[in-house]
Amino acid sequence: MLDKDLIDAARGALPCDLNLANATLVDLIAGEIRRGVTVSVRKGRVVGVDDGLRAERTIDLKGLYLAPGLVDALAHPEPSSPPPPESALIGGPRATTAVVADPHEIANVLGYDGMRYMLASSEGLPLDVYFMVPSCVPATEFDTAGAALYASDMYPFLREPRVLGLGEVMNYPGVLSKDQKLLDKLALFRQAGRPIDGHAPGLAGKDLSAYLAAGIGSDHECTSPEEAREKLAKGMYIMMREGSTAKDLRRLLPALSPRTAGSFLICSDDRHPDDLVDEGHMDHALRLLLEGGVDPIDAFRVACSNPARWFGIPGMGAIAPGYRADFVAFERLERFEAKLVFKDGALVAEEGQILREPPPSRPPLRDSVNIKWLTEEDFRIPAPHAGGRIRVIEARPESIITGELLLEPKVEEGLCVADPARDIAKLFVIERHTGSGNIGKGFISGFGLKRGAIGCTISHDSHNMIVAGVDDRSIFKAARHLNKLKGGLVFAVGDDVLLDLPLPVAGLMSDRDAKFVVERLRAFDELFHREGLANPSPLMTLSFMALPVIPKLKITDRGLVDVERFTPVELFVD
């Protein structure tokens, strides 16, 4: 129901709550920057711009730029993070006032209950958290998830005011093959007039057109300007991703022009809390746009108003009467850094410090790490009598796209073993939801791991346990310790655990505060540096090696998958 006080305040019959005077307004509607502007706010809404309205409180911005709050168009907030209330302490002060989350991580572990947990724990924060319903739970038929969400399970979420649409449709082969369960989900959200996010790395030509014909309208997997241009030409919104592992924004800048800027958004996708603290959130992505020569008005449209248009969020993304009073004030365009952040007309952060503590929230959840009893022998890989080569996953820095190497294995006493001299480690995915005993076995290159084993219960998207190591004892210790923690991150050498981070909330999130999580993640970075690991983000990279929807070679609890052919493949060839 419309609040009549907004009309009276806009006409001057009632005082406003707040005037922000002497602002340099970044006007995304007129497409210009205006100086000496006063913005008037009542009950969390803009009611006037330079209308001479009186207010109970006035803040003189003294020429500071004033822009709408920034929007993260796609975030998976669960991995290696504190719960949502604590996460808000990291992103909120950095100018982010809204996040569109796709909680398919926790949904793949806990299903309907996981989605409900995220909704409940993200209420009352100093930034808005919207949700897309995860479309692929389970993600594919090649791995074992902890839950399933069908169209019938999704229907109740359409009544939730903070649920916007259907999350990234990763199973594009399922769309092209007309998988009925997936088409039912698409039909549900199409009929409701809701946005449907895409996930289609490298998809082009007729297959891309068929994918879009199903009602999908965005993509965050572009890694080249050419890919982005084709998808733009066919009507897609392009989310420029700047995460902890996948950093695509700079690569896509050549495709962003004044003519195409209206179809770009920015997103974090997967970003570690320590990177949020050290580099920033959407403020970091906005800086990259501005440093890349993007016109400031276009850059702010990408960061603020375009997401509101794609997701259909009314009153977001501009500073004008009727819009939400979500603002960021800053000193310089050439080096964007939030000085003041306003949410619903209230000052919530100043100089990078949050001023309004989020409410504590700890909705109950069941334990989610349930593995079959393990022995060290479970991690042996017998060599075939006929010899032959092995398929090795080639991990690449700052990318979740992998290569496939065909190499001669190192064999000792009839077993294929790791070969640190050639940067080849053993790799295992252990099913952790049902205690089935499934263990996918393989090899990986690109970490530079010289001793021990690293492991985690974050392995997109089914989030089984994943461990890479150079000897069976360390691998065994890492797996056992992750089970003891009820989920987390670990680095083990022999029988010793050098470092861990417990993540008992679905095996994905910490139950500790943001400070603890960030300190542990930084300790991991320092340890990896001392150990001489070649990959800049080993644990984040490791977590994507079980994602069988990103080319080329991946591993699940059921074995290796050739993603380009979307089919299981054997470890041994020839």
H helix intervals, 454-563: 472-485, 514-531, 538-543
In this structure, is the dihedral angle defined by the CA atoms of residues 544, 549, 553 and 554, taken in order, positive or negative? positive
- Can you tell me the distance from the alpha carbon of 500 to that of 45, in angstroms, rounded to the nearest whole number? 45
Q: Looking at residue 91, what is its pLDDT? A: 60
Kindly report, residue by residue over 146-172, the tens digit of the pLDDT: 888 999 999 999 999 999 999 999 888
Kindly report, residue by residue over 87-104, the tens digit of the pLDDT: 666 666 789 999 999 998
Name the pTM for this structure.
0.87
Are 410 and 441 a contacting pair, CB within 8 Å? no
- Can you tell me the distance from the alpha carbon of 70 to that of 59, in angstroms, rounded to the nearest whole number? 21
Q: Which of 79-83, 118-122, 187-191, 211-215 has the weakest average pLDDT?
A: 79-83
Q: Looking at residue 92, what is its pLDDT? A: 60
- Can you tell me the distance from the alpha carbon of 70 to that of 36, in angstroms, rounded to the nearest whole number? 22
Structural domains for the chain: 4-63 (2.30.40.10), 70-307 (3.20.20.140), 376-573 (no CATH)
Q: Which of 241, 238, 260, 237 is nearest to 249 (CA)?
A: 241
Say which residue the tokens 């004008």 belong to.
320
Decide if pLDDT at 563 tops 70.
yes
Q: Looking at residue 497, what is its pLDDT? A: 98
- Can you tell me the distance from the alpha carbon of 345 to that of 327, in angstroms, rounded to the nearest whole number? 8
Kindly report, residue by residue over 23-40, the tens digit of the pLDDT: 999 999 999 999 999 999
Q: What is the DSSP string of 190-235?
A: HHTT--EEE--TT--HHHHHHHHHTT--EES---SHHHHHHHHHTT
Name the band, by pLDDT with cuts 50, 70 and 90, for residue 86. low
Name the band, by pLDDT with cuts 50, 70 and 90, for residue 123. confident
Q: Looking at residue 453, what is its pLDDT? A: 98
Decide if pLDDT at 234 tops 90.
yes
Q: Which stretches does DSSP call E strand in 337-423? A: 338-343, 346-350, 353-354, 389-394, 403-407, 410-412, 415-417
What is the arithmetic mean of pLDDT over 524-530? 95
Kindly report, residue by residue over 451-466, the tens digit of the pLDDT: 999 999 999 888 999 9
Radius of gyration of the chain (CA): 24
Say which residue the tokens 């497409």 belong to.
31
Q: Looking at residue 280, what is its pLDDT? A: 85
Please give the C-alpha separations between residue 354 and each of 281, 327, 351, in angstroms, as whole numbers: 15, 14, 9
Q: Which of 53-57, 236-240, 504-508 has the weakest average pLDDT?
A: 504-508
Decide if pLDDT at 365 tops 70.
yes
- Can you tell me the distance from the alpha carbon of 345 to that of 196, in angstroms, rounded to the nearest whole number? 31
- Can you tell me the distance from the alpha carbon of 324 to that of 300, in angstroms, rounded to the nearest whole number? 16
- Can you tell me the distance from the alpha carbon of 385 to that of 16, in angstroms, rounded to the nearest whole number? 82
Kindly report, residue by residue over 286-341, the tens digit of the pLDDT: 999 999 999 999 999 999 999 999 999 999 999 999 999 999 999 999 899 999 99
What is the arithmetic mean of pLDDT over 543-552? 90
First to last CA, the chain: 69
* Polymer length of the chain: 574
Say which residue the tokens 């994905």 belong to.
508
